[in-house]
Structure 1
Amino acid sequence: MNKRLFALAAACACGAANAQSSVTLYGVVDVNVEYVNHVGAVPQAGNGYNPGPPQTVFRENSGGYSGSRWGLRGVEDLGGGLKSIFVLENGFNADTGTLQQGGRMFGRQAFVGLDTRFGVFTFGRQYQSIFSTMANFVPARYATQYEPTGVVAGANFRQDNTVKYSGTFGPFTAQADWSFGVGTTLPSTYPTVPTAGGAGEVPGQFRRDSAYGVALSYLAGPVGLGIGYDQWNPTIGTGNGTFKKAVVMASYAFNDTAKLMGGYRWGQNKDPGGTTILRDDFYWIGGQYRFSSALDFTLEYDYQNVKNLGGNNGVANPWQIALIADYAFSKRTDVYLTTAYSRNAGLAMESAASGFATSLALGNSYALANGQKSMFGAALGIRHVF
């Protein structure tokens, strides 16, 4: 019996040694010092939707150009063209050492899946399909500080309880996702716009806080094209709303020096009774320019046409222009200057039409104070990638 057990253990050890597997530790630490003017409090029911008087802010932040994070990425070759994969990615505030994403241990991403000949199937907390696809078409590359990610992709751009598929076929990449419960909540920041969202996955309420989306991109040579659709069904009162977004986008690269990008996003949010909470159109255009092997610039212009906000058809349309200069000391360490000017909204296009999603997520207000129409911000930071 002992000989047979020893032989079995040896065979298992040999099999483990022959299997090709790896686990990679990676991360980013990004900290900057920032100046912002005309800052008020995020309007909510508790303060009577009153942002208060304007303040000038000097502060240290985490995640100006990239969100500070660390993660584990693993892969095991199972043979026959099949691999198992996982990602656990933590988001943290480098200035305070605290967790981001509502205190989640792995709030940025946490999923496991299979990489097959037909595509990649993953299960867990993941990015929605249109967010992943737009990464190739947004000039600022989701730079955390002033990028209006929550406006263009929706506050549900990260989703709990998600099944996702991604497949690449030549120049085409197709993605699709379904969330059984997004896990995002947007508090009321405007008197006629209710709180939306919740935990989801409630027995007997399959639609509650669910979401789904699809996206398709084409990248060949200098040309890039993309389309996508996303729908989130957040809890509103005792029912479910319907938040829809559709996007088209394009890019064109000029050798390795410059790239032009732009897109259009249609949006419509309705409450459980079908009343419009928000109807808007969002446009962006900009580009990236590599001045040298160490220095590059990014310019992005964003415009939001707010057609209806909680029954108000006369909302001033927000817009923003942002400029980023980045200088690399090495492949792992760089310094950057990021600046932005916004009109009819705070930086990152923060307004009631966005639910002040960026301010609430980061814990730093970019809400416009009473009597203000514009905001300017600038931040000087350092980033190290490992």
Structure 2
Amino acid sequence: MKTQWSAALLVAASGVAYAQSSVTLYGIVDAGVSYYNHATTSGGSSVGIPFLTGEVPSRWGIRGTEDLGGGYKAFFVLESGFQPGTGQLNYGGRLFGRQANVGVSSDYGSVTLGRQMNMTMYALTNADVIGPSIHSMASFDPYIPNARSDNAVGYLGKFHGFTLGGTYSFGRDAAGPAGPAATNCAGQVAGNFVACRQYTAMLAYDSASFGVAVSYDVARGGAGASPPLNNSAYTDTHNIVDGYVILGPTKVGAGWVRNNLAAATHLQYDIFFAGATYYATPALYFDAEGVRYLQRGPAGKNDASSTLLVGRVNYLLSKRVTVYTSVGYMFNSALAANAVAAGGTVGTGMDQLGVMLGLQQKF
């Protein structure tokens, strides 16, 4: 009997030997003061602390992994977005509005269940040098920096430089309309299999000196959701083609985003962007990007087109602390009202200048 117990304990101990686990707390707090003019039809200005994003949105999260042996690992991510100015939660007021998922990974890729970043987000990560900043493509399409899917099954695999990924959501957005890109389309409705469904796919290739990516994203509407996607027959489709090249201390990125809204009224727009990041020193670097927005309405004509120019200077006080200045200028056509700042306002047909001085700390 003693021999049997000893053998059992030895087997149990050997099984625990590879079951290593880790939990990491991480985050970014990014805040500052912004200014932009022509914030109203009378031309008034706005000064204050941005509530959506600075250079990047503020967030905190918990990430954990567990070694299952045989090359397999279990993982989870819980990530919350918040407003530094008020302490309120972003993403429709959800505690873990940025990510809340669990999954398993191996050499064959990872499978993820829950709220997660979808392939539209991944496709833009390397080519868009400005990213989800206060002066960015978010001014034209708030979905772009918030490309996440609720109730989703996702796959992401990397093989010899190629990345293949996809997500399928049974109900893409359970949050109400309180927040950018929140549409109150929870889906998973009995008797309506397509209501609020979403699927995204991406194929990318990355090397040490360049990379390219293409993605496809289709979101369906549902009864009771925020207009215009308030019918399960309506769809919103994003297509992305982009790439980047690294030339010494300089990274150049460019791409094209096409959106087709097939609802009660058809709307199509294109976003073309090109930008660069230059490292003058390891602690000092510059970002610049130009974005052209072309909108076509039911008649196929240019209805509300705009051009955004962005420049940013970043200085690292330490590995985790950055001070920065971002300057954006929006040129609006006569019918356009695209604000230079994410979440901002502008009078129709007015050009707009935006400036932000910010401080960011990572942990």
TM-score (norm 2): 0.87
1:99 aligns with 2:89: yes
Counterpart for residue 367 of structure 1: 345
Instruction: Kindly report which structure 2 residues correspond to 1:1-386, keeping only aligned pairs within 5 A, or say none.
Output: 16=16, 19-40=19-40, 52-61=41-50, 63-143=53-133, 145-149=134-138, 151=140, 154=143, 157-183=147-173, 198-235=185-222, 236-255=229-248, 257-271=249-263, 276-308=265-297, 313-344=301-332, 345=336, 358-359=342-343, 366-369=344-347, 372-386=349-363
Instruction: Please say if residues 286 and 314 of structure 2, whose CA atoms lie closer than 8 Å, have aligned partners that are also in contact.
Output: yes
- For residues 340 and 29 of structure 2, the distance between their equivalents in structure 1, rounded to whole angstroms, comes to 25
- For residues 263 and 9 of structure 1, the distance between their equivalents in structure 2, rounded to whole angstroms, comes to 58
1:139-158 CA distance string (max 9 Å, x none): 11322x12224746836611
Instruction: Please say if residues 152 and 282 of structure 1, whose CA atoms lie closer than 8 Å, have aligned partners that are also in contact.
Output: no
Residue 240 of structure 1, CA deviation? 3.0
1:17 to 1:93, Cα distance in 2 relative to 1, 3 A = farther
Instruction: Please say if residues 221 and 230 of structure 2, whose CA atoms lie closer than 8 Å, have aligned partners that are also in contact.
Output: no
Determine helix, strand or coil for the equivalent of 2:50: strand
1:174-205 CA distance string (max 9 Å, x none): 11111111116797xxxxxxx96522221111
- For residues 240 and 150 of structure 2, the distance between their equivalents in structure 1, rounded to whole angstroms, comes to 22
What amino acid is the match of 1:251? Y
What amino acid is the match of 1:252? V
5+ residue gaps in structure 1? 41-51, 188-194, 351-357, 360-365
Instruction: Please say if residues 54 and 372 of structure 1, whose CA atoms lie closer than 8 Å, have aligned partners that are also in contact.
Output: no
TM-score (norm 1): 0.82
Determine helix, strand or coil for the equivalent of 2:84: coil
5+ residue gaps in structure 2? 223-228
1:316-346 CA distance string (max 9 Å, x none): 3111011111000110111000110112255
1:19-49 CA distance string (max 9 Å, x none): 2110000011111011111113xxxxxxxxx
Determine helix, strand or coil for the equivalent of 2:128: coil
Determine helix, strand or coil for the equivalent of 1:230: strand
Counterpart for residue 45 of structure 1: none
1:160 to 1:262, Cα distance in 2 relative to 1, 3 A = same
1:80 to 1:35, Cα distance in 2 relative to 1, 3 A = same
Instruction: Please say if residues 38 and 372 of structure 1, whose CA atoms lie closer than 8 Å, have aligned partners that are also in contact.
Output: no
- For residues 274 and 188 of structure 2, the distance between their equivalents in structure 1, rounded to whole angstroms, comes to 38
- For residues 16 and 150 of structure 1, the distance between their equivalents in structure 2, rounded to whole angstroms, comes to 51
Q: Percent identity?
A: 32
Determine helix, strand or coil for the equivalent of 1:159: strand
- The Cα RMSD (Å) is 2.8
What amino acid is the match of 1:368? V
1:334 to 1:298, Cα distance in 2 relative to 1, 3 A = same
Instruction: Please say if residues 329 and 340 of structure 2, whose CA atoms lie closer than 8 Å, have aligned partners that are also in contact.
Output: no
- For residues 159 and 142 of structure 2, the distance between their equivalents in structure 1, rounded to whole angstroms, comes to 25
**Aligned residues between the structures:** 347
1:354-379 CA distance string (max 9 Å, x none): xxxx52xxxxxx2212x542111101
- For residues 291 and 346 of structure 1, the distance between their equivalents in structure 2, rounded to whole angstroms, comes to 36
- For residues 384 and 314 of structure 1, the distance between their equivalents in structure 2, rounded to whole angstroms, comes to 42
Instruction: Please say if residues 291 and 307 of structure 2, whose CA atoms lie closer than 8 Å, have aligned partners that are also in contact.
Output: yes
Instruction: Please say if residues 340 and 347 of structure 1, whose CA atoms lie closer than 8 Å, have aligned partners that are also in contact.
Output: no
Instruction: Please say if residues 123 and 240 of structure 2, whose CA atoms lie closer than 8 Å, have aligned partners that are also in contact.
Output: no
Instruction: Please say if residues 284 and 300 of structure 1, whose CA atoms lie closer than 8 Å, have aligned partners that are also in contact.
Output: yes
Determine helix, strand or coil for the equivalent of 2:116: strand
1:203-244 CA distance string (max 9 Å, x none): 111211111111111111312111111111122444431111
